[in-house]
Chains A and B, each alone.
Chain A
Amino acid sequence: MSKARDSIFRTGFVHVALIAYTLVSLFPVFLTIINSFKDRNAIFRAPLTIPTPQTFSLIGYETVLGQGDFATYFQNSFIVTIVSIALVLLFGAMAAFALSEYRFRGNTVMGLYLAIGIMIPIRLGTVAILQGMVAANLVNTLTALILVYTAQGLPLAIFILSEFMRTVSDDLKNAGRIDGLSEYAIFFRLVLPLVRPAMATVAVFTMIPIWNDLWFPLILAPAEATKTVTLGSQIFIGQFVTNWNAVLAALSLAILPVLVLYVIFSRQLIRGITAGAVK
């Protein structure tokens, strides 16, 4: 009996903590969105109120969309994020499979070497990366960003995926070998479907820093044609005057695509868990 009461108390506490955390993390997003629908005066006079008929204004969105280039910025962000995720997942999963499945000389050393990437931020190498990109004639191309983000995402992807791949039953892979599946078929048709939840996790972890990054777009691809949304929004922030309506509208718009991608991946997460595997 005391146990039951205990667990109600405990679940209650957990829920309160989680709700509080949710409110704290959602508050800035909420603030950004409500203020993006207000006129300039209302943003400063009453930043915490939701838009009323008097203060409602779409001026921010009109500015952003009227700027014309924002479609391109969105497109750039999309291309960079999607291609980077795809490459990180593909190469990350393949490397993880090799590390977890095959016994070869230097296996552990290779795993540790790749794990170092988790500990050392890639931004420390910015100067060298920029020099490399200049030499390779890749400055102001989306390729430059995709290459850097793929490298940035791989260490964590390999680390998470190789742990998951170790849990895939050896018997299943061996059954595939006896049935004449090639190692590629075993990887793509047997192992990948079973680690789909882990793939979704990695995709989410990889996606958000890439979408939000300002550093590398600013350094490697600041040209008008290759600007990403985060970089594009900066034109409204000036040294003396900042067009807050436009900044908030641009940020609100930038949230949407990430949200959509997140929903897609998290559905995969749940579906992966419920699929029946061995036993």
Chain B
Amino acid sequence: MGSLQLKSIRKAYGSHEVLKGIDLEVKDGEFVIFVGPSGCGKSTLLRTIAGLEDATSGSVQIDGTEVGHVAPAKRGIAMVFQSYALYPHLTVKDNMGLGLKQAGKPKAEIDDKVGKAASMLSLDPYLARRPAELSGGQRQRVAIGRAIVREPKLFLFDEPLSNLDAALRVNTRLEIARLHRSLKATMIYVTHDQVEAMTLADKIVVLNAGKIEQIGSPMDLYNRPANVFVAGFIGSPQMNFIDGARLGDTRAKTIGIRPEHMALSRESGDWKGKVVHVEHLGADTIVYLESEQAGTITVRLFGEHRYAPDDIVYATPMVGSMHRFGADDRILD
């Protein structure tokens, strides 16, 4: 079991409010990702759930029990940190077993659980080493192992992949996805990387300036963004935003179209424009163009295309791919 309810969580440092009333429900076994730009309060929210920070007001419930005044160690949580935070003077084995040792579990049980977690993460050969003798990827696996050993109700991850290089990041991401499937545990994960969010999450919570902008599955957020912020944050390259008035739309203040939802042609189309820059990525070609009607727009084409700067082209949005936002930046229905 591992469900979580947050009710109007507020957190202020002095007069500066970091979290402005967060309500959230996480069901047992869900993989929830908090995503948002730096300073949006996502890490603070995670620390509040862990009990490392006290909320100024509001309630945190784990499995229906109020844990506002419960010490972090007694909340049934485990946390994986960006900087790994391994105990430098302890071996891998002792690092992983410390939580259980503090809880007064018998040695045989600790050895058994550490052994299982180590084989799950293929850490067996390193059990006698100290953190200083491990590579970055191995250290992060030890940190994950330390969390698994505690068999928590909630796993909390605080940007666990940010310190790893690109190749390791992909591997460790797959490892975390595999763990979630095999442990069927509830996981809450903080990241600023939307690729991690899209690939791992059952449910994404988009935060901005201490408020939740939208909660939904990755495809919900991609296909039906609730406002301009979410539309711009999810998806890469970023969605094109065009002034509604320019396109003759009287109701919508802004119209958004994803770069991949546009067709490009040399002969004819809706918006005529001049190519400014082209990026060839092999699988994709990204074309930046300056159009007369819609201003600067980005078009993402699949496969290889031979466009060059200063070419005259016509861009056409695909049918039904426009997102229309009103004066309050919210989606119009």
Judge if A190 is at the interface, Cβ distance under 8 Å.
Answer: yes
- What are 17 sample pairs from A and B whose C-beta atoms fall under 8 A apart? A169-B83, A171-B82, A172-B83, A172-B85, A174-B47, A175-B79, A175-B87, A176-B87, A177-B72, A178-B72, A178-B79, A178-B99, A181-B73, A189-B89, A275-B88, A275-B132, A279-B83
B130 contacts A276, C-beta separation under 8 Å: yes
For B87, give its contact among A174, A177, A180, A190 (CB under 8 Å): A190
State the majority secondary structure of interface residues on A. Answer: helix
A residues engaging B (CB < 8 A)? 169, 171-172, 174-181, 189-190, 193-194, 275-279
Residues of B within 8 A of A175 (CB): 79, 81, 85-87, 146
Judge if B77 is at the interface, Cβ distance under 8 Å.
Answer: yes
A172 contacts B72, C-beta separation under 8 Å: no
In Å, the complex CA distance between A279 and B81 comes to 11
Q: Which 10 A-B pairs have the closest CB atoms?
A: A276-B132, A180-B73, A180-B102, A171-B85, A171-B81, A179-B99, A175-B85, A172-B85, A277-B88, A171-B83
Smallest CB gap from A179: residue in B = B99
Residues of A within 8 A of B79 (CB): 174-175, 178
What is the number of contacts between chain A and chain B, taking CB atoms within 8 Å? 78
B99 contacts A194, C-beta separation under 8 Å: no
Additional A-B contacts beyond A278-B88, A279-B83 (8; CB < 8 A): A169-B85, A172-B83, A175-B85, A177-B73, A178-B50, A178-B78, A277-B88, A278-B86
Residues facing A in B104-162 (CB within 8 A) are 130-133, 136, 146, 150, 158
In Å, the complex CA distance between A239 and B86 comes to 64
Residues of B within 8 A of A172 (CB): 83, 85-87
Nearest CB of A to B185, in Å: 16
Nearest CB of A to B121, in Å: 17
> Considering residues A174, A175, A177, which has the most beta carbons from chain B within 10 angstroms of its beta carbon?
A175
In Å, the complex CA distance between A193 and B52 comes to 23
Nearest CB of A to B47, in Å: 8
A276 contacts B99, C-beta separation under 8 Å: no
A193 contacts B88, C-beta separation under 8 Å: yes
Nearest CB of A to B43, in Å: 11
Smallest CB gap from B88: residue in A = A277
